[in-house]
Each structure stands twice: as structure tokens, then as C-alpha cells.
Chains A and B, each alone.
Chain A
Amino acid sequence: MLSSGRHLGVADVVGSNLDWTVQLDEVRVGFGPKQILKGISANLPKGKVTAIIGPTGCGKTTLLRSINRLHDRRPGFNLKGRILLDGESIYAGSTDVRELRRRVGMLFQRPNPFPQSIRENISLGARIHGLWSRADVSTKTEYLLREVGLWDAVHDRLSSTPFSLSGGQQQLLCMARVLAVEPNVLLLDEPTSSLDPHSTTRIEELIAGLKEKMTVIFVTHNLQQAARCADEILFLEQGEVVEQAPVKQFFDDPADPRSRAYISGWAV
């Protein structure tokens, strides 16, 4: 399922097949005159975890946010090239952005629950997208809270505010909120960077369990975490792809000297 050829050209990408969930085709993103991504081409495999790594400012988060069109309203945003989701261009005029964002869920650097009750945090998205009926709310909410491991902590206060939960619990709640709208792709933007080790472990376990059902793309600064969780590594530097490789190959025997240098800065 995974091909090992890297630095894919346009031709490889456009000949889309079912192995790829997200295909990046010469993606260039800029804000005003400032160019952040300078032609990213990569195929992100279906049902796997891809970690996007690279030094600060290399465009990891910019790339991630391009995949659910979260940049759309930023002043000066411009994108050239194509991003395909299951073979369809997401920046085409016919794209339903709401439906795209339902299919491409996202977890942020810091937990950002809604200022609503815990129950509504989970149910609102699913209700708005018409996935749950009113009658579904209590059973499906319970199911999701159990899935992320929050049920025991919150089952007796579903109507109260999520802001009294710990940061880790809030992030798990946000995870449940995303899962409620049944995404096919999950974008994670350093989801554990503000969490304690216990919550981090819980999030990582969830990622491992979820990849059977969806494609996971996550940005991390933490190479150990990338090595633990990812199947694929996409290494960026200054807005360009340096190397994409299966995780073992990337860490054991990177093809590009820049990858080697980056890893050895970390390796003991």
C-alpha cells in the first residue's frame, strides 16, 4: 500500500488511486507577499498516521490548516496548486466548505471547548450537520465520552461548563467533539503540546486506535512522539518537502542529508 518513492511529481499525484486520502500537488501558500509553502507535493496514505515535522516556521501548521481551508478568511491568503481529498480538489468552486470541514476534523494546539455545556460541546456539531436526532444525543454522547475515556470523570456533570475540567480532559472533550461529526481525516496540530504526560499518552492511544477508521495527519515538534505514533513522516524545511518516508526508514536511514542533520540534533 505504501510506495517508497518520494519527491513525487505532479504526474504521480494526479494519477490518483484509492491509496491516498490527501494528495498535495505543488501546493504554494502565501499571505500577501510572504510565501510560506513553496510547492509541496506529497501523497498522504489512507488509514495511516502521517506526522509532519520540521523546524519552527517551516510551514507545518500552514499546510495542515490548508487541508480544511481554515485560512480562507485570512487577509492576503493565496493558494496555488491543488489539494485533493479522495481525488477531489478541495479548493474547487463547487466545494462545500462545511461538508469538507466535517469530513476533515481538527484538534488544536490548545484545548478550545465551546462555552456551552459538556453535552452540547459534543452534540452541537453533530446536530448542526444533521447526523444526530434529538433522541440520539444522550446515548451517542455517552458512547463518545467512553471512547475518549472521559465518561467516568464527567458523567454526573454533563450540563455544566467544560472549563472546570483539566486541560487534558478539555482536549479529550474536543477530540470527542470532532469524532461526533464522523470525519474521514483527522488533523492534529501539536495536540499534546500543552498537556500533561498522562493526557498525552491517552491522546496517543486514541490516535493509534483511530487510524483504522480514518486518516490521521499530525504536526508535532516532538520527534519521539512522531516516532511513537506515526507510520509516515513528512519532513518540511522552509516551506519545501525535504523527505517523505515510512517512519522506520526515516529515523534509521534517512535519504536526505538534511533529514539526517535534523534527526541527529535530537538523537542521543
Chain B
Amino acid sequence: MRFNLTAGGAGDSAGPTFLPSARRLAGADLTGRDRAVRWVLLGAGLVPTLMLLFLTAEMVREAIPAFVYSGWGLFTGHVFTFGNLYVTKLTVHNGVSAPHGAAYGALPFIFGTLVSSLIALIVAVPVAVGAVLALTERVPARLQPGVSVFLELLAGMPSVVYGFWGILVFGPILAQHLFPVLTHLGGVLPFFKGSVGYGEGLLTASLVLAIMIIPIIAATTRELVRTVPILAKEGALALGMTQYETAKVVTLPYVRRGILAAAILGWARALGETMAVLMISGDLLNGFPANIYSPFSTIAATIVAMLDSALTDATGMAIHALAAIGVILLVITLVTNLLGRLIIRRVSHGVVLPVGRGV
């Protein structure tokens, strides 16, 4: 925490010292400019932490009235409406007043957020890992840098572009060609039965989310696969194993932990993804999707979609309600992250080994 930019400060007058004296540690040898730099850097270092604390505190403070008004209903209610904003009649509940008819039940959004991100994850992880194995094992070494550039470009594409493409191209194609086939699964999984709609809904959004997080998971996995010692893979090849068997027996066990971590990164992105989902979700309010093809909504998409009208609520409760579901999203993200870390730690204590040790 000290930045001694000048050569030989006041504390060094007795000759060159290489051990920091108590005076130097206390900053006694710093000039005024040094001290200024020190404080500026200290401040800069604290900004992220303070920002996070401030943001969370502010969100929670903003959300409290909605939590009081709805109580557990916030988590269990199916109806989310700001009420009638154009009459002065108010509903009072738990001592908090809100526009008449207002109800803040976020369960459909919580459901939508979790389910869409999980479907995305289930689709994305195998595709990303498979793609990486194919790339590293099959694509000639000199083409690999080019392929990586594509991966990174894909990861950096604005989500509104994904959304636009999803609603205009991908959704209709899915509804026409893929979804009718999937309805045959209805016998086993009832969620796949019924009308397939026009391609705006849970499955389309989940698949677009999957496409969005594939580059994130793939980029991380690719770095991991590169760290697998060649010698370890050669052991399998020299035993007459195919590249597929080598990947299964050697490469994947080496990177398993890292893939979990990568998946959690991708999951976090999917949970919070807003714009693309908003554009493709079909934006269902006050209910659950009838089947996997139906419209739905997520917390993030709802906040954006309803912000405008929330600002017109004179009681301010609409904003409180949006802040409340924002806090729920924050908590979900936090919990999944912690859960992920826990899983990673658990896996590392099992049969699977520390990467790179002993080889």
C-alpha cells in the first residue's frame, strides 16, 4: 500500500537501507505528491467494493415497501400488475398504500428466469465442450487462431442483435421445422405437447440464450483444454485409444472442474440477459407458459418492459415493486454463483484430481 516514487526519501539519510524502517512503513518518507498518489489509488481501489455495497443497499432500500406490501406474495403470487394508475383510489395493505388493484406476484418471472437459463445451460454446455474438442483435436493447428477470433467475436456481439435475429429468423424457423418434431416428445414430457406458436416463447428464448452463452463457455473450455499435458493424452493414444476415447478418458476429466466453472459463468450471463429475452419471450404477464413453446417472461425483461409505466405511478409503489424483483434477481445470481463454487469445491475433493499434478 505504499508508493515511493522518489529515490531515497527522508528516512534514508543514514545511507542506503534495504529493509523498510518503521518510519518508512508509516509513510514518513513520502513527499506530498507521493501521499496524494497514495490516496487517489487507495480511493480507486475501494470504488468497486463501495459501488457494490452502495448498489445493493440502495436496491434493498428501494424494494422494502414492496416487500412489506406483498409479503410472501411477492414470491408466490402469479399476478403482477401496477393497478389502476389513473384513479386516486388506493389499496392499503400491511400499512402500505398502492394504486387500486395493484399486485406484485413475481413467481412467473422467477420461474421464467430460472427455467430459461437452465434450458440454455443444458443445451450450451455439451455443444460448447463438443465444439472445443472438435476444434482442438480436429482443426489443423494453423487454423485455430482464426477460429478463436470468431469465438471471441461471437461472445462480444450485442444482445440486441441476437434478439433481432431471434425474432425475425430463428424463431420462425424453429416454429416451422423443429418444434413440430419436438411435440412428439409430448408423450414422455407433457411440457412439449400442444400448440407450437410462432416462435416467440420459452424455448426460442432459451435456445437464443444458449447460443449467446456458448462462446463464453467455449472460450473458457478452450483455454482449459490447452492446459492438458500432451504427455497425458499421448499415453492414451499410445495405448491404441481413438481421439474420442482419449478425450473421454484423459482430456475431459482434466478439465471437468473448469467446465463447471465456465458453465456457471454462462449461467450468470443467461440469468441476467435482458434485451434478447425481452424481444423473444413473447412477454407473458400474470401466468405460466402453457407449454415449452409459449410466451413467458423473466425478471430482467420485465423490469425493462415495465419501467416506463412504473415511473407514472404517483405512489411510487411500481418502482418499489420493480426494485424488489431486481433484488430477487440479485439474490438468485448470488446463490447460483455460490452454489456453483460449492459444487466445484466438492468435485475437486472427489476422485477427480488437481489439474496437472503428477504429470
Q: What is A's interface to B at a CB cutoff of 8 Å?
A: 68, 70, 75, 97-102, 105-106, 108-117, 124-125, 128-129, 159-163, 167, 170, 174, 177-178, 181
Contacts and interface: CB of A to CB of B under 8 A. Distances in A.
Contacts of A98: 240-242
Contacts of B229: 112
A100 B273 CA distance: 51
Given A105-B239, A128-B245, A112 B351 contact: no
B351 A117 contact: yes
B351 A160 contact: yes
A70 B235 CA distance: 10
B224 to A, nearest CB: 13
B235 to A, nearest CB: 4
A129 to B, nearest CB: 6
Contacts of B142: 75
A170 B358 contact: yes
Contact of A108 (B231, B253, B351, B354): B231
A181 B240 contact: yes
A128 B231 contact: no
11 contacts: A75-B141, A102-B240, A106-B238, A108-B238, A110-B359, A112-B232, A115-B254, A125-B239, A125-B241, A128-B240, A161-B351
Interface residues of B, number: 27
Q: Which of B142, B238, B242 has the most CB of A within 10 A?
A: B238
Contact of A114 (B236, B354, B357): B236
Interface string B321-359: 000000000000000000000000000000111100111
Which of A75, A116, A177 is packed against the most chain B CB atoms within 10 Å?
A116
Given A163-B353, A174-B235, A116 B249 contact: yes
Contacts, number: 82
A161 B353 contact: yes
Contacts of B245: 128
A114 B249 contact: yes
Given A112-B229, A170-B358, A181 B353 contact: no
Contacts of A163: 353-354, 357-359
A256 to B, nearest CB: 32
A46 B38 CA distance: 75
A124 B248 CA distance: 11
A70 B140 contact: no
Given A106-B238, A125-B241, A128-B240, 9 more contacts: A112-B232, A112-B235, A112-B359, A113-B359, A115-B353, A124-B249, A163-B357, A167-B358, A178-B239
The 9 closest A-B pairs by CB, nearest first: A101-B240, A115-B253, A163-B358, A112-B235, A102-B240, A106-B238, A125-B239, A98-B240, A112-B231
Contacts of B140: 75
B34 to A, nearest CB: 49
B260 to A, nearest CB: 15
Given A114-B250, A115-B253, A68 B238 contact: yes
A57 B353 CA distance: 34
A89 B303 CA distance: 70
Given A75-B140, A163-B354, A113 B240 contact: no
A175 to B, nearest CB: 12
Given A75-B140, A163-B358, A115 B352 contact: yes
A114 B245 CA distance: 12
A192 to B, nearest CB: 16
B234 interface: yes
Contact of A70 (B141, B237, B249): B237
B235 A108 contact: yes
Q: Which of B142, B240, B352, B359 has the most CB of A within 10 A?
A: B240
B358 A108 contact: no
Given A128-B245, A163-B353, A111 B358 contact: yes
Nearest to B352: A115
A50 to B, nearest CB: 19
**Taking each of B140, B232, B235, which has the highest tally of chain A beta carbons within 10 Å of its own beta carbon?**
B235
Contacts of B354: 163
Contacts of B236: 114
A117 B231 CA distance: 18
Contacts of B232: 112, 114-115
Contacts of A68: 238
